[in-house]
Amino acid sequence: MLRIPEDILDSIEAIHLPTIPQTLLRFLQLVEDENTSIAELATLVSMDPALSARVLTVANSPALRGRGESKDLVSSLANIGTSLARTLAACLVVQNVFPPEFDSQDYDFTGFWGHSLRVAEVARSIAVESQYPDVDEAYLAGLLHDIGQLLLLGGLRNRYGLLLAASSDELVLRDSEKMELGTNHSAVGAWLVDQWNLSSFMADSILFHHNAADEITAADTLSQIIWSAHKICHHHSASGPLQQGQDVDFTTVNSMLGVNVSNLLTLYQDCSTRVSQFATALGISETVDAKTLPYTTTIPLEILRPPLKNNDTAYFQMVEMVHNMAMLQPLQRGFASSQSEAEILLSIRESASILFGPGQFVFFMVQPEEAALSGVNISGQPVLLQKIKILLDSDHSLASGVALGKMPCSNTFEQKSPIAGSLADIQINRILGSEGLLYIPLKGRTRIIGVMVCGISTSHYGRLKKRLPLITSFANMAATSLEDLREIQGREQQQAEKLTNSFELQARKVIHEAGNPLGIIKNYLEVVRKRLPDHDILDEVNILGEEIDRVTQIIRRMSNLSDETSEVGNVDVNNVIESMVALYGDSLFASQGIIIEKELDPELSDVACDKDNIKQILFNLWNNASDAIEAGGYFIISTHDNVNMDGHSYIEIRLSDTGPGLPSEVMQHLFQPLPPDIRRSGHSGLGLSIVAVLVEKLGGRISCQSKTGRGTRFSVLLPKTGNVQP
Question: CATH number, domain at 605?
Answer: 3.30.565.10
Q: 468 or 572: which carries more pLDDT confidence?
A: 572
User: Sorting pLDDT into bands at 50, 70 and 90, what band is 584?
Assistant: confident
Instruction: Give yes or no: residues 686 and 629 share one domain.
Output: yes
Q: Domain check: are 444 and 527 in the same one?
A: no
Domain shared by 293 and 361, yes or no: no
- CA dist., res. 143 & res. 264, Å (int): 19
- Nearest Cα to Cα of residue 640 among 607, 609, 697, 602: 602
The structural domain count of the chain equals 4
* pLDDT of res. 66: 67
Asked if the structure places residue 628 within a domain, the reply is yes
b/e 235-253 (16+ beta carbons within 10 angstroms → b): bbbeeeebeeeebebbebb
Answer yes or no: are the C-beta atoms of 91 and 221 closer than 8 Å: no
Residue 197 lies in a domain: yes
The answer to whether residues 575 and 535 belong to one domain is no
Q: Is the confidence at residue 254, as pLDDT, over 60?
A: yes
Residue 537 above 80 pLDDT? no
Instruction: Look at residue 431 and tell me if it is in a domain.
Output: yes
Residue 474 located in a structural domain = yes
Alpha helices in 629-675 (DSSP H): 664-668
- Is 173:163 a contact under the CB 8 Å cutoff? yes
> Which 3 state secondary structure label does DSSP give 635?
strand
Tally Cβ neighbours within 10 Å of residue 546. 15
CA nearest to 667, candidates 634, 699, 714, 622: 714
Element (H, E) at 221: helix 221-239
More confidently predicted of 179 and 689: 179
- Evaluate whether residue 66 is within a structural domain: no
- Do both 540 and 682 map to the same domain? no
Q: What are phi and psi of 344, to 5 degrees?
A: -65, -45
CATH code where residue 391 lies:
3.30.450.40
**Residue 283 and residue 18: Cα distance in Å, rounded?**
18
Helix (H, G, I), strand (E, B) or coil at 367: strand
* Percentage of the chain modeled with pLDDT above 90: 12
Question: Buried (b) or exposed (e) across 632-661, using 16+ Cβ within 10 A?
Answer: ebebbbbbbeebeeeebebbbbbbbbbbbb
CA 545 to chain centre: 55
User: Which residue, of 557, 581, 605, is where some domain finishes?
Assistant: 557
DSSP structure string for 592-614: GTPEEEEE--TTPPPEEE-HHHH
Q: What is the 3-state secondary structure (H, E, C) of 37-80?
A: CHHHHHHHHCCCHHHHHHHHHHHCCCCCHHHCCCCCHHHHHHHH
What is the pLDDT at residue 681? 44
* Separation in Å, CA 568 to CA 558, 586, 604, 690, 699: 20, 30, 18, 19, 12
Residue 22 domain flag: no
C-alpha 129/C-alpha 144 separation (Å) is 21
Least confident among 46-55, 146-155, 239-248, 716-725: 239-248
Look at residue 521 in the predicted model and tell me its pLDDT.
65
More confident residue, 418 or 577: 577
Average pLDDT, the chain: 78
Mean pLDDT of 513-532: 63
Q: Is the pLDDT of residue 170 over 80?
A: yes
List of residues 6+ apart from 551 with CB closer than 8 A? 518
Q: Which amino acid is at 713?
A: R
pLDDT at position 639: 94
Q: What is the pTM (predicted TM-score) of this model? A: 0.57
Query: Is residue 716 over pLDDT 90?
Result: yes
Asked whether the predicted pLDDT for residue 420 surpasses 90, the reply is no
User: Is residue 405 predicted with pLDDT exceeding 70?
Assistant: yes
DSSP 586: I
Beta partners for residue 595, in sequence order:
634
Q: What is the CA radius of gyration of the chain?
A: 36
The three-point CA angle 57-63-67 to 5° equals 90
Local confidence band at 371 (pLDDT 50, 70, 90 cut-offs):
confident
Clarify whether residues 592 and 710 are in a common domain.
yes
Let me know if residue 52 belongs to a domain: no
User: Of the ranges 4-8, 459-463, 552-556, which one carries the lowest mean pLDDT score?
Assistant: 552-556
Looking at the structure, tell me whether residues 471 and 354 fall in a common domain: yes
Window from 134-138, 267-271, 549-553 with minimum mean pLDDT: 549-553
Question: What pLDDT is attached to residue 99?
Answer: 53
218 has a pLDDT exceeding 50 = yes
Q: Strands, E, within 552-697: which ranges?
A: 569-571, 595-599, 607-609, 634-645, 648-657
The CATH number of the domain where 298 resides is what? Answer: 1.10.3210.10
Query: Average pLDDT, stretch 624-637?
Result: 90
| 363/448 Cα distance (integer angstroms) | 13
Q: Is residue 631 domain-shared with residue 521, that is, in the same domain?
A: no
Strands 595-599 and 634-645: parallel
* Residues 6 or more apart in contact with residue 718 via CB below 8 angstroms: 573, 607, 609, 614, 650, 651, 652, 653, 695, 698, 699, 700
Count CB neighbours of 187 within 10 A.
Answer: 20
Q: Are 364 and 450 in contact (CB under 8 A)?
A: yes
Smallest CA-to-CA distance from 601 within 573, 639, 570 is with 639
In angstroms, the CA 263 to CA 215 distance is: 24
DSSP 135-160: HHHHHHHHHTTTHHHHHHHHHSHHHH
Question: Residues of the chain with pLDDT > 70: what percent?
Answer: 75
CA 378/CA 255 separation, integer angstroms = 52
- Within 13 Å of residue 650, how many CA atoms lie on the same side as its CB? 22
Whole-number pLDDT of residue 322 = 54
The answer to whether residues 207 and 187 touch, using CB atoms and an 8 Å cutoff, is yes
Distance between CA atoms of residues 240 and 234, nearest Å: 10
By residue range, what is the domain housing residue 293?
A: 101-305
Residues 130 and 264 grouped into a single domain: yes
pLDDT tens-digit readout, 42-95: 888 888 888 888 888 888 877 676 677 778 888 888 888 777 777 777 667 666
Residue 303 banded pLDDT, cuts 50, 70, 90 = very low
- In angstroms, what CA-CA distances link 440 with 307, 404, 436? 33, 12, 13
Check whether residue 389 and residue 298 sit in a common domain: no
Beta carbons of 38 and 77 less than 8 angstroms apart: yes
pLDDT grade for 682, boundaries at 50, 70 and 90: very low
Would the pLDDT of 363 be above 80?
yes
Rounded distance, CA 405 to CA 157, Å? Answer: 36
DSSP characters over 438-506:
EEEEEE-SSSEEEEEEEEE-HHHHHHHGGGHHHHHHHHHHHHHHHHHHHHHHHHHHHHHHHHHHHHHHH
- List residues bridging with 711 in a β-sheet: 707
187-191, 293-297, 326-330, 454-458 — most confident range: 187-191
d(CA 38, CA 44): 10
Q: State which of 305, 339, 364 marks the end of a domain.
A: 305
Query: Is 10 contained in some domain?
Result: no
408 compared with 491, residue with greater pLDDT: 491
Q: Among candidates 354, 370, 386, 344, which has minimal Cα distance to 479?
A: 344
> 259 and 375: one domain?
no
Same structural domain, 503 and 526: yes
C-alpha dihedral (195, 196, 201, 202), degrees to nearest 10: -100
Domain boundary among 557, 577, 598: 557
